[in-house]
């Protein structure tokens, strides 16, 4: 449907439509193990970490790009740890980044055990911990 054939209402609805979310499951039952850091895309809002071959870092998306979204990261296996970090810590994305992505970042969160989780949301400026068992 082209813009010309859309009504203003249809065009507005298309622009304001909710964005797609995606889940990531890392466990041996789906044949997937993780041995490297995980950099989340803005639409990857649920992450279940099961089979880790070592400790990993999970980098949240840019706080500005994730505005209004809530992310849930859950550990099912106690063998290794996952450290949740803000995107500004990921210097490989842009080596010129030396500042914090989020205003008032309280520090990294470490998930260390089965059933550990964090639910964190972005208001576009900072990350806010909603709930956690660390």
Q: Is 61 exposed, middle or buried (0-12, 13-18, 19+ CB in 10 A)?
A: buried
Per-residue pLDDT of the chain (134 residues; tens, 9 = 90+): 444 555 555 545 555 445 666 666 665 555 555 667 888 888 888 888 887 778 888 999 999 899 999 999 998 877 888 999 988 654 555 555 445 677 778 789 999 988 999 999 999 999 999 999 98
Residue 53's Cβ-count burial label (10 Å; 0-12, 13-18, 19+) is exposed
Concatenating the DSSP letter of every residue in 72-117 gives EEEE--SSS-EEEE-GGG-TTT-TT--S-SSTT----EEE-STT-E
Helix or strand run (H / E) with residue 11? helix 8-16
User: For the whole prediction, is pTM greater than 0.75?
Assistant: no
Whole-angstrom Cα distance, residue 16 to residue 126?
23
Instruction: Assign a CATH topology to domain 21-133.
Output: Jelly Rolls (2.60.120)
Dihedral pair phi/psi, residue 28, rounded to 5°: -70, -20
Write down the pLDDT at residue 128. 92
pLDDT at 50: 80
What pLDDT is stored for residue 97 in this prediction?
Answer: 47
* The two three-digit tokens of residue 119, written as one number: 């639910």
Tokens of 33: 């193990």
**pLDDT attached to residue 87:** 80
* pLDDT recorded at residue 98: 47
Question: Domain limits of the chain?
Answer: 21-133
pLDDT value for 9: 55
């Amino acid at each position: 449907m082209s813009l010309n054939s859309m009504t203003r209402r249809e065009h507005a609805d298309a622009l304001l439509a909710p964005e797609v979310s995606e889940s990531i499951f890392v466990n041996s039952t789906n044949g997937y193990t993780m041995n490297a850091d995980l950099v989340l895309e803005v639409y990857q809002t649920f992450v279940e970490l099961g089979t880790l071959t070592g400790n990993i870092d999970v980098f949240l998306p840019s706080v500005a790009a994730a505005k209004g979204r809530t992310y849930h990261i859950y550990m099912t296996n106690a063998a290794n740890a996952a450290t949740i970090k803000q995107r500004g810590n990921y210097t490989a994305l842009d080596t010129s980044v030396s500042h914090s992505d989020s205003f008032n970042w309280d520090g990294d969160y470490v998930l260390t055990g089965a059933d550990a989780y964090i639910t964190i949301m972005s208001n576009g400026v900072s990350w806010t911990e909603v709930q956690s068992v660390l």
